[in-house]
């Protein structure tokens, strides 16, 4: 493997999991069809053949059982990485995650750690059926005791999955499934950023656009279109949804005076809502216009033929940019 390589995110995640398993024999993978099949999205392809069935384990179709078993393994010193096949399948394990996994360290006054990673492919853009295109990040970001992150590039995916596995706290690792296959450069020698840091994806001066996961590519597209019309837009990649690194966000807003937050998830009581409120509290006098949000609608995710209407695109983002500039 060369120091620099162009890979899709799925392959970068595979490489990151492989490196973590090579570095620590206590790292084990668990999930439905992750063994010989390599998972629905082939993220774990080839890992069972190389590390064996005791470290890459096909589980029954029982998400609560997967996470409950991972909690027990973590108590015995292992570092389990659980794959939830699709975003909408995580809810049978929701009680285990929010009532047990998130609380055990606090319940024992720090006496035990819970180094468990829950990998969840999430979001739309793949034309799938019900329960396969949801964005449940707000549920987990709202839960104290959980770290919640989402990469938007193959490079970040490679490093962030290793950082998540090395964390002694439980990490909800959200993988934007629509970004599994577009390629990007991965630097295997230079990490670049810490796990919980907001990144500047594009420098600009007039409006700040903020998003995470698959939305970052949409924001970059919107920024290109805005530049053609003479508007300089800065794009921030949130990367960590809990905790949120507000430093770069506030710095950017104080420079541009305008903030547009975009997400695939519904807008009400969301991560975007929290960021909007915090920016209004901490950078009010720098704002030239209200903080604006562009999101999925406050409805269940629609049938596949309607997903392009439901999901924010560059046009909806640019409409918000125009409104921000009009104040």
Which residues does the annotation mark as catalytic?
132
Compute the distance between CA of residue 196 and CA of residue 239 in angstroms, rounded to an integer.
7
What is the sign, positive or negative, of the torsion defined by CA atoms of 315, 215, 309, 271?
negative
Report the alpha-carbon distance of residue 324 to residue 278 in Å, rounded: 18
Distance in angstroms (rounded) separating the CA atoms of residues 121 and 133: 9
Whether 291 and 261 have beta carbons less than 8 Å apart is answered as yes
Give, to the nearest 10 degrees, the angle between helix 215-228 and helix 314-326.
Answer: 60
Q: How far apart are CA 225 and CA 219, in angstroms?
A: 10
Distance CA 235, CA 227 (A): 12
Peptide bond into 243 cis (omega under 30): yes
Cα of first residue to Cα of last residue in the chain, in angstroms, is 51
CB 214 within 8 A of CB 179: yes
Assign 57 to helix, strand or coil: strand
């Amino acid at each position: 493997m060369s120091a620099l390589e162009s890979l899709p995110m799925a392959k970068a995640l595979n490489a990151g999991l492989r490196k973590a398993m090579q570095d620590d024999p206590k790292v084990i993978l668990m999930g439905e069809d992750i063994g010989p099949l390599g998972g629905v999205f082939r993220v774990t392809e080839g890992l069972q053949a190389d590390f064996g069935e005791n470290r890459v384990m096909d589980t029954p179709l029982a998400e609560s059982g997967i996470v409950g078993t991972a909690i027990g393994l973590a108590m015995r010193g292992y570092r389990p990485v659980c794959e939830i096949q699709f975003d909408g399948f995580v809810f049978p394990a929701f009680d285990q995650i929010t009532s047990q996994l998130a609380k055990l360290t606090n319940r024992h006054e720090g006496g035990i750690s819970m180094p468990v990673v829950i990998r969840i492919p999430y979001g739309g853009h793949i034309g799938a059926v019900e329960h396969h295109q949801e964005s449940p990040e707000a549920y987990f970001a709202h839960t104290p005791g959980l770290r919640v992150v989402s990469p938007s590039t193959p490079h970040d995916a490679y490093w962030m999955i290793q950082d998540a596995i090395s964390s002694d706290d439980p990490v909800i690792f959200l993988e934007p499934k629509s970004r599994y296959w577009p390629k990007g450069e991965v630097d295997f020698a230079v990490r670049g950023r810490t796990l919980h840091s907001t990144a500047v994806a594009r420098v600009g001066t007039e409006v700040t656009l903020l998003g995470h996961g698959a939305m970052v590519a949409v924001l970059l597209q919107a920024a290109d279109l805005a530049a053609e019309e003479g508007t300089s837009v800065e794009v921030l990649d949130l990367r960590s949804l809990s905790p949120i690194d507000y430093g770069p966000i506030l710095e950017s807003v104080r420079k541009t005076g305008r903030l547009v937050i975009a997400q695939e998830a519904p807008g009400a009581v969301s991560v975007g809502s929290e960021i909007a409120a915090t920016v209004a509290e901490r950078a009010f006098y720098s704002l030239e216009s209200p903080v604006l949000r562009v999101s999925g609608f406050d409805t269940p995710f629609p049938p596949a033929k309607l997903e392009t209407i439901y999901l924010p695109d560059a046009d909806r983002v640019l409409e918000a940019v125009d409104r921000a500039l009009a104040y």
